[in-house]
């Protein structure tokens, strides 16, 4: 595996591979890699001849009071994992390489609407930071495809919409969430949890499963189900930002007529903000859904 720090070095490597007719898959990350990231790399390898991974803790997607400074940076361990798992090129830019005029002076990519709801409401500007850096990285790497985890479901939809609206020639591949044995979605931020919080953290997944069960059983008062789920998280010591049943295609609030849904949750536990989601398909929904009163 080659490790490079400049745009010019990425371009010359990719040019060489393209000249050989090879297909390129890209996995953008912020490092502190876990089994979920490695699964993305393996999925990328199955689909392309060459796999490019980036590690860049993107300052533009962090709010002023968020964890940019403390975000875990584990480059040596990450490099070993990537090399062992068959990545071909690791791009580790400095901030000045991607933002030559600084973050404040950088041109931005804004994906309106979908960036402002759910996590975007709790983290204003976050998805503009994500869309901007992913667009820049796409322009540098020029991959045939890019692989993202469905754990960050809203991020995945923001990127899909950006790619569609800007006519970017990149196929976006979403990969199902990798979970710990107890159901907790893998995340770099899980390393912030204390032992006691780590034991409680899977309750986010358990609450999502309960919501899915109630909807599959025919309950259709989504507002009541969401409120109950938030109460369950509060009772378990979380500070929920939201639990929400949405249309999977665009994250608009779901009605009983919608069949392809996603249940999303974001909740704080101590200083850690956890997010998770579960897809739900209601093809065989019963004719008379239960409406709670
Ligand atoms: O999901 C992440 O790790 C980041 O948001 C991404 C896509 C690498 C952009 O910085």
Active site residue 126: no
The CA distance from 58 to 53, in Å, is 14
Residues 6 or more apart whose CB falls under 8 angstroms from that of 245 comprise: 211, 215, 222, 225, 226, 253, 254, 261, 262, 263
Between the CA of 275 and the centroid of ligand 1 the distance, in Å, is 14
Q: Which residues, listed in sequence order, are joined to residue 253 by a DSSP beta bridge?
A: 246
Between the CA of 29 and the centroid of ligand 1 the distance, in Å, is 5
With a cut of 90, say whether residue 194 has pLDDT above it.
yes
The CA distance from 50 to 27, in Å, is 11
User: From the alpha carbon of 159, which atom of ligand 1 is closest?
Assistant: 7
Read off the pLDDT band of 291 (50, 70, 90).
Answer: low
Between the CA of 91 and the centroid of ligand 1 the distance, in Å, is 14
Burial class for 243, CB neighbours closer than 10 Å (0-12, 13-18, 19+): buried
The pTM is what? 0.96
Q: Whose CA is nearest to atom 6 of ligand 1?
A: 29
Domains of the chain: 2-175 (3.40.50.620), 188-281 (3.30.1300.10)
Look at residue 274 in the predicted model and tell me its pLDDT.
98
Between the CA of 255 and the centroid of ligand 1 the distance, in Å, is 31
Q: Which has more confidence, 178 or 292? A: 178
Mind listing the pLDDT tens digit for each residue in 9-22?
Answer: 999 999 999 999 99
Read off the pLDDT band of 66 (50, 70, 90).
Answer: very high
Mind listing the pLDDT tens digit for each residue in 253-269?
Answer: 999 999 999 999 999 99
Q: Among 78, 133, 149, 175, name the best residue to mutate to test ligand 1's pocket (greatest count of ligand atoms within 8 A of Cβ).
A: 133
The DSSP output letter for 194 is: -
Q: Whose CA is nearest to atom 2 of ligand 1?
A: 29
User: From the alpha carbon of 130, which atom of ligand 1 is closest?
Assistant: 9
Q: Quick check: 5 and 93 in contact, CB under 8 A?
A: yes
Mind listing the pLDDT tens digit for each residue in 205-214?
Answer: 999 999 999 9
Q: Whose CA is nearest to atom 3 of ligand 1?
A: 29
Q: Please compute, for residue 59, the number of CA atoms within 13 A of its CA located in the half-sphere on the CB side.
A: 14
Mind listing the pLDDT tens digit for each residue in 147-167?
Answer: 999 999 999 999 999 999 999
User: From the alpha carbon of 29, which atom of ligand 1 is closest?
Assistant: 8
User: From the alpha carbon of 54, which atom of ligand 1 is closest?
Assistant: 8
Q: Among 134, 151, 156, name the best residue to mutate to test ligand 1's pocket (greatest count of ligand atoms within 8 A of Cβ).
A: 134
Which tokens go with 164?
A: 């569609």
Look at residue 284 in the predicted model and tell me its pLDDT.
66
Look at residue 182 in the predicted model and tell me its pLDDT.
98
Which stretch of 127-136, 154-163, 225-234, 279-288 has the lowest confidence by average pLDDT? Answer: 279-288
Between the CA of 249 and the centroid of ligand 1 the distance, in Å, is 20
Between the CA of 235 and the centroid of ligand 1 the distance, in Å, is 31
With a cut of 60, say whether residue 239 has pLDDT above it.
yes
Q: Considering the candidates 2, 37, 88, 126, report the single residue annotated as catalytic.
A: 37
With a cut of 60, say whether residue 79 has pLDDT above it.
yes
Q: Whose CA is nearest to atom 8 of ligand 1?
A: 29
With a cut of 60, say whether residue 128 has pLDDT above it.
yes
For 242, 270, 272, 273, the CA distances from 193, given in Å and listed in that order, are: 20, 8, 7, 10
Look at residue 293 in the predicted model and tell me its pLDDT.
46
Cβ < 6 A, ligand 1 pocket? 28-30, 58, 61, 130, 133-134, 152, 155
Mean pLDDT of the chain: 96
Look at residue 285 in the predicted model and tell me its pLDDT.
63
């Amino acid at each position: 595996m080659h490790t490079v720090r400049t745009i010019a070095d990425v371009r010359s490597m990719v040019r060489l591979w393209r000249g050989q007719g090879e297909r390129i898959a890209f996995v953008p990350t912020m490092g502190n890699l876990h089994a979920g990231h490695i699964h993305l790399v393996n999925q990328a390898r199955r689909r392309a001849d060459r796999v490019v991974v980036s590690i860049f803790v993107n300052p533009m997607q962090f709010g002023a009071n968020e964890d940019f400074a403390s975000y875990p940076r584990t480059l040596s361990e990450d490099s070993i994992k990537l090399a062992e798992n068959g990545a071909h090129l690791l791009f580790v830019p400095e901030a000045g390489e991607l933002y030559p005029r600084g973050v404040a002076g950088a041109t931005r990519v804004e994906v309106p609407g979908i960036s402002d709801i759910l996590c975007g409401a709790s983290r204003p500007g976050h998805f503009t930071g994500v869309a901007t850096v992913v667009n820049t990285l796409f322009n540098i790497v020029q991959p045939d495809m890019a692989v993202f985890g469905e754990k960050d479901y809203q991020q995945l939809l923001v990127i899909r919409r950006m790619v569609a609206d800007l006519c970017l020639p990149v196929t976006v591949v979403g990969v199902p969430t990798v979970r710990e044995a107890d159901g907790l979605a893998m995340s770099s931020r899980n390393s912030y949890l204390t032992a006691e919080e780590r034991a409680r953290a899977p309750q986010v997944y358990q609450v999502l499963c309960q919501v899915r069960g109630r909807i599959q059983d025919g309950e259709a008062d989504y507002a009541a189900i969401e409120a109950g789920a938030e109460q369950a998280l509060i009772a378990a010591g979380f500070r929920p930002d939201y639990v929400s049943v949405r249309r999977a295609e665009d994250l608009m609030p779901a009605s009983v007529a919608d069949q392809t849904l996603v249940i999303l949750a974001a909740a704080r536990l101590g200083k850690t903000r956890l997010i998770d989601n579960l897809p739900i398909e209601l093809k065989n929904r019963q004719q008379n859904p239960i409406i709670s009163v």
